[in-house]
Chain A
């Protein structure tokens, strides 16, 4: 079942208004651990500590500062931050439509399912239009005092809303200072052939979170007082640049 509805709004562009309810689309379940103090196994808490005096600082003695240069801050009041909050609105405003497949997945943040809220026929009409034209809508909205950028898509019978990162939140690849390396056409050809050989349809269902089960098993074993075999990870020997072609050829032979 989709997560419960967390917010209500309406999609707007031109003379189109389609009311929707947002539902969370993903739910993660993880084994949780606590951090404990070794001698007496008391559950530890996170605590803000003064870096200078090395003492715990209670909330009422905490202030928020914007660092201008090392050690120099501008103090900011909570009221000032509140003033910067965007005005409340229920409108998911579509600014433009783009052909699907243009958005780099690096921008994707999270997904909501949109449930129709009254005017189901209009909702269905929008789903159909997006699907037939193979486009998605780039939109902005304000939810819980934050402004969001997102993409509105039709998928099956429903609409989905993906929140997107702002452009300046994505670190540019060029800042990584990657070196360029010239490769021979042969290396590229064999590399491409190898990848094509290893290509299969995307079937995410076949990847279960086995680790989670194994971890639970380990906890159970330990709970019964059994001894745990310690296995050490091994670091693979890197393929030397001069052996790259040879490794690719051997790989291709193995899979072909």
Chain B
């Protein structure tokens, strides 16, 4: 299966530059359904639509606007957007390294893998090995589409993972929900510790499965046996129009799946 490349550029630290691609590290466990047209069972695709003229708008007629009032916009082109931080749109420059244990888990946002592009394999392998040995992660900022991401690059299972981090001003304070009293139920605490001791284990994520997904897969299997299938008409090959807007598509793939939940 061809890998979907989300971004391609360079990872650099000090004087070393490694050509890389950013690819997905996780896929949503939602059983993925295709939306179909109930008249002909043709798959549906998402297109940009002009509600006034009631027509599908081709990519070259789409512009990006910042709303300053009702129906009033400032137009921003791709080139202008790129000019905001040009040095970061093709380079993930690791400016410092940190000890991984120091990262408060609340900062981690979304993971991606980095894979080496042609010619970068050796330096990539070096970064994997030395970050593994030293248990360090590199910190960098890079720009994709309309957003700039603060990211941690670390070694994992023989590869490099890039995890976007939240900015510290996005982390909400928690003081307002602190317990109103300091008192601890001492007896209860020793009982809790006793229970925890009996339940100690090693983390093994494989033993947990999404019950909902399993149920859906079960009834899909049943339907396969019953052979209730529909067939889409032969498509003309003109569908390869690509996403409505490249930046929007990139944004979409960087955006977390959580919003659709």
Contacts and interface: CB of A to CB of B under 8 A. Distances in A.
20 contacts: A27-B170, A34-B64, A34-B67, A61-B37, A61-B38, A63-B41, A65-B33, A72-B232, A105-B103, A162-B105, A167-B206, A168-B209, A176-B159, A195-B134, A202-B102, A208-B169, A212-B148, A238-B119, A244-B16, A244-B123
A73 B232 contact: yes
Interface in B48-65: 48-54, 56-57, 61-65
Most B-side CB within 10 Å, residue of A96, A208, A238: A238
B150 A207 contact: yes
Interface in A88-142: 94-99, 101-111, 113, 115-116, 120-126, 128-130, 132-133, 135, 137-138, 140
A239 B18 contact: yes
Given A105-B163, A199-B98, A158 B37 contact: no
Interface string B124-158: 11110111011010110101001110100010111
B199 A96 contact: yes
A138 B130 CA distance: 31
Contacts of B193: 129, 132-133
Interface string A154-187: 0111101010111111111110101111010001
A191 B126 contact: yes
A34 B73 contact: yes
A232 B78 CA distance: 11
Interface in B239-256: 239, 244-245, 248
Interface residues of A, number: 174
B168 A207 contact: yes
A43 to B, nearest CB: 8
B114 to A, nearest CB: 9
B156 A113 contact: no
A50 to B, nearest CB: 4
Interface in B79-127: 79-91, 94, 96-99, 101-108, 111, 113, 115-116, 119-127
4 nearest A-B pairs in the assembled complex, by CB-CB distance = A211-B148, A14-B195, A47-B49, A251-B14
Contacts of B177: 2, 21, 23, 113, 115, 158
Contacts, number: 542
Given A86-B212, A146-B261, A174-B157, A234 B184 contact: no
A184 B176 CA distance: 54
B13 interface: yes
Nearest to B187: A125
B191 A15 contact: yes
Nearest to B11: A236
A172 B23 CA distance: 12
B200 A96 contact: yes
A106 B26 contact: yes
A234 B86 contact: yes
Given A171-B24, A199-B96, A223 B74 contact: yes
Contact of B208 (A111, A135, A166, A201): A166
A120 B41 contact: no
A236 B119 CA distance: 13
A44 B50 contact: yes
Contact of B26 (A113, A160, A169): A169
Given A65-B230, A202-B103, A73 B29 contact: no
Contact of B188 (A24, A121, A238): A121
Nearest to A37: B50
A196 to B, nearest CB: 6
A254 B10 CA distance: 21
Contacts of A135: 196, 200
Contact of A61 (B39, B101, B108, B210): B39
A43 B62 CA distance: 10
A6 to B, nearest CB: 12
Contact of A53 (B37, B75, B163): B37
Given A46-B46, A73-B41, A201-B102, A36 B64 contact: yes
Contacts of B150: 204, 207, 209
